[in-house]
Chain A
Amino acid sequence: MTTISSYNNDKVVAGEVEYPASDPASGAFFQPDYKKNEDLKIMLDGSKDSLKLEAMKRIIGIIAKGRDASDLFPAVVKNVVSKNIEVKKLVYVYLVRYAEEQQDLALLSISTFQRALKDPNQLIRASALRVLSSIRVSMIVPIVMLAIRDSASDMSPYVRKTAAHAIPKLYSLDPEQKEELVLIIDKLLSDKAPLVVGSAAMAFSEVCGDRVSLIHKSYRKLCSLLADVDEWGQLALLNVLTVYAKTCFPDPNEENYSSDDSADKPFYDSDSSGSPGRKSASPSLDPDLRLLLRAAKPLLQSRNAGVVMAVAQLFYHCGPAQELPPVAKAMIRLLRAPIEVQSVVLNSIAALTVSKRSLFEPFLKSFFVRNSDPTHIKLLKLEILTNLATEASAPVVLREYQTYVTSNDKAFAAATIQAIGRLAVAIHTETETCLNGLLHLLSSKDEWVVCEAVVVVKRVVGGSASSAAPAVSRAAKLLRSDRLAGNARAAAVWLVAEHGATHPRAAAVLAHMAAAFTHQEELVKLQLLSLAVKLSITQPDTVAMCRYVLSLARYDASYDVRDRARLLRRFVDPPPGSLLHQYAASIFCPDKPKPTIESNFRDRQQYTVGSLSQYLGSAAAGYRPLPVAPRVPLPATLRDAPAAAQQAQHDIPAQKNKTFYSEPDNDGSGSTSSGSSSSSSSEQSSDEEEDDKEEKKTDKGNETNNYRSSNSGTSDSETDSDSSSSDNSSSDKSSAESSEEQPSSTKKEEVTKPDAAVQQQKSNEKSNLELLLELDEVASSLPTMTPTCGGFLSPPTTTPMQGTGDADSIVPVGASWAGGEAVELISRVSCGGLCAKRRWPRAPHLFSQRMCTLELSFTNHSPADVTNVRLNKKTLTGSRAIHEFAAIPSLAPGASASVTMGVDFADSIQPIEFTIMSSLGEVGVSITPPVGELMRAVTMSETRWDTEHKKLRGMTECDKKIGKLEDEQAICKRVFETANVAAVTSTGNLLRFAGRMMSSQDLVLLSLRLEPAASTVTANCSNMAVASLLANDVAQALNKL
């Protein structure tokens, strides 16, 4: 209870609900909790900000403690619109935590964020994007996608940074969005603000760390920005650039083996950076790699250990060996950092010292162990000391080890003994000293030390007979004194058996041990058996004793011992005719090679320096090994190209409009292609580019409608025949990729063609393009579709791409059906004889394209003339507007007249109200538009429809089940009657229709999936209300079929 109270002891608002004192004895522990939630709800529902804040604070307390507060969700979410910034922030925290569990309710908050995304305050825009993208509800994927796309081209670098952060979030929510996200990452990578670049690098490595081709064009810029990026960004950027450098530049140490010697003299010029001496040492270093290394080197002086390690990683994996000493120095500095940092750094150093011993040799003393170090640090230091020891430094190291052996820390002392063993094997001049030391330890009073020492001696002695004699005699002495534990005893017996077969003491040892054979441990028994057999071979007078031991073993409790005894018996008492006996000596006493004792860290070298995997010694989830360096460097032109392109972009400021679709990626590849054709650069570059292309083609798969090749390609060949081929290819490609707008492709072409002739051609083309762009307006303002010619006898749906030749754009078309029947608006009774009917002719209104045309026909049923029929009062809300019809001066009895008026419904089906004034008086009229009339038919290619549909999934989708349907013609007809859409596909199982909202120009996609049992109507529109209404209407209409 104490923890709970300490969370809530602050600032309980005076006069608020008092908690009943909880009685712990009655088990009412949860009681007050429940009550508290109730009153939290009351506080949240109230109107006072201070109460809300108080409630939110307590809720955060509940979350912080990890207890469930999800039942408060509805009450909390309401406050997402709170004016108080702190309440709002805490609501955000809550929302992010629980949105995943309460998906439906979380959707209620979405519109608030959408609104906040347009806020003039950049902090609010950014935090809205942050929270929106953190809500892990797959329904909102399209919305987040849209938000990221918009924010990626925001004015404020802070918002762009947030957009970069949002990318991995969306990617983890819906990996299918990868391709689009990659485009955005690409754009962000070429951002000029250091704030953004770091986060973009992070997003890059999270989403598409293997797409190195994205880096090419911004590589040099990234290198130069490295110093200005914040430290966390530097970390991410360094990781990305390391992978890049590894992929693109050959290993600088491969070529000049000769310079390896200089690497062994580390401190030659560690202080002076970029000294002429070093430059001459590595003349073959790629200038771009040099650029990166030079930019990264100052970061060794960063206060952030992570950054230092990332630089170390870069230099170790990609840099020339002679530049490593400053890196080593910086790593040594990190040893003064907190324990955790030390541990990681020591671990990396331990792995590095296995292969690059000379690097850390000067710092030997920095690795001396202190008693106050935690054990795992001690062990790491020991490992490093052992790796570092050379013939020269071994005496110093051994003297240190002497101190360590007597340490209170048993694990450490044991490891030290092992380390001495390793030294003995590794450094031949010290073998004698080490062995003496170890043998000395054998007579230590500490049993523990002795056991460890025996095991190590066994390993060290290995095959060399000369050093074995004293070891054997000491081991024999120990065995006779019965002071060894099982493991050590077995090792001692092995030692005697292996090296003491001819030793006179051996028989005595065997006799002594055999006497107590039954009390030995299993491991010891096995060793004793082999000792007995070996002795029987070398000292034949012991055969009797050997038989005795074997017979004891025959009745042993352990299977292993019995089996071994049975096996060995064959050698001692060979069955008649067996040849085995002759070979006994070569089986039991062969010459064995000396064992090599290796560092445990040898296998950690395969992992990237400083990575989690290296620390753990096994590949962690999501670990990507660095690629193998290529033999031949990738051409530097890859990195040149975009610089020129950027230059060009600067030259044409008029074209620098900030549309998202001006994908810099296209710029890069497009200009590369033109570059390669004009300057005919190396084959490799074009190869590479080919690869790129292919990659992209497979990526984009279905979008290969090159409508523009006929369009602009031909104009190219007319004006500028020699560059036409390259232009063609670039424009083809760009048109294949830029799925929506043409400006990007024009821009690209302009960028890639600097000559004057082309300039002229460009303006030419631009005018063409403007025409294309304005087609929207042109088509809509042409009163082409009069109600009579748009009849459903010849539905235009059969040729959806008719006329325009533009397969990938969205083209408005005339209504497929315009026979809407007239509905009575004013009955003759209500207005003394003037009757009015209305009709939706679905023709574009001439005044504004946002307006629906409404046809009113008046008939005079009264005996007298009706004069001056006009529209009088209109009540309009919001952005709605009415374009009045021209007043009818007079209407003779029995005559009728029709007029058209335009109404902008602002995409809402709220009724509009107005009055009609005439000489007979004023009549109020209210018109509720069916949702189907609020849109205008448009058509597009099927693939385009599919891409648009993909963007509009999730929340913006609405499904309705309907009964079984068969006749496609009838279905289409019914759909056209219900809504002003055009068919994209009118046959098959999936019927696609498309329209555009009059006011907002949002796309409306309607699809009908015909299935044997039941069909489904699906409507997609970014205006969710429209989508659901439309789906309802269509479903109702079709149900009547």
Chain B
Amino acid sequence: MIHSLFIINPSGDVFLEKHWRSVIPRSVCDYYLEAQRASPNDVPPVLAAPHHYLISIQRGGVALVAVSKQEVAPLFVIEFLHRVVDTFQDYFSDCTETIIKENYVVVYELLDEMLDNGFPLATESNILKELIKPPNILRTIANTVTGKSNVSSILPSGQLSNVPWRRSGVKYANNEAYFDVVEEVDAIIDKSGATVSAEIQGYIDCCIKLSGMPDLTLTFVNPRLFDDVSFHPCVRFKRWESERILSFIPPDGNFRLMSYHIGSQSVVAIPIYVRHSLTLRSNGDQGRLELTVGPKQTMGRTLENVALEICMPKCVLNCSLTANQGKYSYDPVSKVLLWDIGKIELPKLPNIKGSVSVATGADTSGANPSINIHFTIPQLAVSGLRVSRLDMYGAKYKPFKGVKYITKAGKFHVRM
């Protein structure tokens, strides 16, 4: 179980600590800091110190280090730490050092409520929000005037009901339910443009503001697409298994209803291609770089927010390029070339070319940079998934419903 939690900022200061059992001195974090110093971006999530085990995550520039004294499932701790950060983001809209410091009292109250003796007590955002009200200016003023506090004195009803994720007595003037179907394409494209591997990771994020206790069912046109799925606890798994229908009583507000995976066995459409040529000459001459980007299999949609990121070999000193669209920048320290293209409008294909200055005498053989591509395609789910209908039971009103599709690049990778 989790004994203590330390939150560490990028410069290595422990700026918040919380102990659920006996106090563990913060010097235990030195083992983490040492590992971090050795390789800042490559800290193993589990570290063994002589008497403790440190399990850490890094998010939003801060590192959360949980300390345990004995055997514990690492995924349990990691998952919980992520849930902590999610909760902070839910409360304060972000999770950075400054924000945590500004709200340390709420943070402390939350941590106290989420974990009891190192074992999770309440992690559902709906329950927590009833116990401890999220801070906002209006409430702060109201509290100062009325003398009320942010802390509830009664047990949230959700905690005892069999739908613990939903708070009771929800009331909205406008009842609306929005679903975002987001798909991310993970791909590795090799030098010659052939697809080495491609997968789709999709999720359905909801924003549901419905009064009462609505019971929703969501049906898909083509549910057979899914290779593997995972659900929010509210989804009735039996229904899904037998009928391939998502039936659920939703939590109030924003949440992720399901995520799915369309694996490397299925054929995945790759919506973009890059033609690239990079020559580096070591004899003092300038190297040359040319890139052309174009859409492919986009089903008539446009690619937006396209950006290319190339981590150049160490020998590249600088680049002087001209792009026919968008802007580029090169950071000579981190050796990252960033080309922000924006929207691709046919028939003009974005192109960038120019010279690359290479350090004299450097070995350029075998250097094979790779391109990370970012893009979004609105109104398209690249897998072809479509929501067929949404029905609501258990409430009288007629809600406003909306579904939005979007495709993004996940870890989209082109080897050069």
Contacts and interface: CB of A to CB of B under 8 A. Distances in A.
A344 B366 contact: no
Contact of B162 (A228, A368, A370): A228
A45 interface: no
Contacts of B51: 621
B230 A302 contact: yes
A365 B42 contact: no
Nearest to B190: A403
Contact of B153 (A85, A133, A158, A199): A85
A62 to B, nearest CB: 10
Interface in A532-565: none
A443 B70 CA distance: 49
A737 B153 CA distance: 41
Interface stretch (B105-113, B283-291, B294-302, B375-383): B105-113
Interface in B5-63: 13-19, 21-23, 26, 39, 41-42, 44-46, 48, 51, 53, 56-59
A444 interface: yes
Contact of B108 (A60, A362, A400, A623): A60
Nearest to B123: A232
B221 interface: no
A139 interface: no
Interface stretch (A333-341, A816-824, A871-879): A333-341
A330 interface: yes
B79 A306 contact: yes
Given A97-B23, A336-B201, A206 B1 contact: yes
Interface in B102-143: 102, 104-105, 107-109, 112, 116-117, 119-121, 123-124
A718 interface: no
B351 interface: no
Interface in B183-221: 186, 188, 190, 196-197, 199, 201
B202 to A, nearest CB: 10
Contacts of A60: 104-105, 108
B228 A616 contact: no
B367 interface: yes
B413 interface: yes
A49 B229 CA distance: 51
Of A57, A65, A126, most buried by chain B (CB within 10 Å of CB) is A65
B44 A50 contact: no
B149 A84 contact: yes
A3 B101 contact: yes
Contacts of A622: 69-71
Contacts of B363: 445-446
Interface string A215-250: 000000000000110111001100100000000000
A231 B233 contact: yes
A344 B46 CA distance: 8
B105 to A, nearest CB: 5
Contact of B75 (A130, A306, A403): A306
Nearest to A5: B101
Given A372-B372, A372-B413, A57 B16 contact: no
Interface stretch (A161-169, A473-481, A684-692, A946-954): A161-169
Contact of A65 (B15, B74, B112, B311): B15
B22 A136 contact: yes
A227 B69 contact: no
Contacts of A408: 311, 313-314, 367
Contacts, number: 268
Contacts of A90: 105, 108-109
Given A123-B154, A301-B231, A66 B70 contact: no
A273 B230 CA distance: 16
A301 B229 contact: yes
B261 A86 contact: no
A445 B57 contact: no
Interface in B80-109: 80, 82, 98, 101-102, 104-105, 107-109
A389 to B, nearest CB: 15
| Interface size, B (range) | 35 or more
A123 B53 contact: no
B117 A123 contact: no
Interface in A142-172: 156-158, 161-162, 165-166, 168-169, 172
Given A195-B159, A329-B227, A366 B73 contact: no
A97 B23 CA distance: 8
B387 interface: no
B259 A303 contact: yes
B370 interface: yes
B394 interface: no
Contact of B261 (A156, A227, A332, A338): A332
Contacts of B112: 89, 92-93
B243 to A, nearest CB: 14
B256 interface: yes
B256 A303 contact: yes
Nearest to A362: B265
A446 B78 contact: no
B71 A613 contact: yes
B10 to A, nearest CB: 14
A615 B74 contact: yes
A124 interface: yes
| Interface size, A (range) | 35 or more
A236 B39 CA distance: 34
B365 to A, nearest CB: 6
B201 A371 contact: no
Interface string A870-913: 00000000000000000000000000000000000000000000
Contact of B196 (A306, A365, A406): A365
Contact of B104 (A7, A86, A338, A365): A7
Interface string A81-99: 0001110011011000100
Given A66-B17, A195-B159, A305-B79, A371 B121 contact: no
B105 A57 contact: yes
A1017 interface: no
Contact of B160 (A50, A65, A158, A168): A158
Contacts of B349: none
Of A3, A136, A228, A306, most buried by chain B (CB within 10 Å of CB) is A306
A359 interface: no
Contact of A368 (B76, B107, B147, B188): B188
A333 B230 contact: yes
A235 B76 contact: yes
B368 interface: yes
Contacts of B164: 230
Nearest to B235: A301
A463 interface: no
B225 interface: no
B155 A344 contact: no
Contacts of A376: 42, 44
B353 interface: no
Interface string B369-403: 01010000000000000000000000000000000
A157 B155 CA distance: 12
Given A165-B121, A303-B230, 13 more contacts: A60-B104, A64-B16, A65-B15, A90-B108, A232-B123, A304-B79, A309-B75, A336-B201, A341-B82, A344-B46, A366-B199, A371-B415, A611-B71
13 contacts: A6-B101, A7-B101, A60-B104, A89-B109, A123-B152, A158-B159, A232-B120, A309-B75, A330-B228, A362-B265, A370-B411, A408-B367, A623-B71
Smallest CB-CB A-B distances: 3 pairs = A622-B70, A340-B45, A365-B197
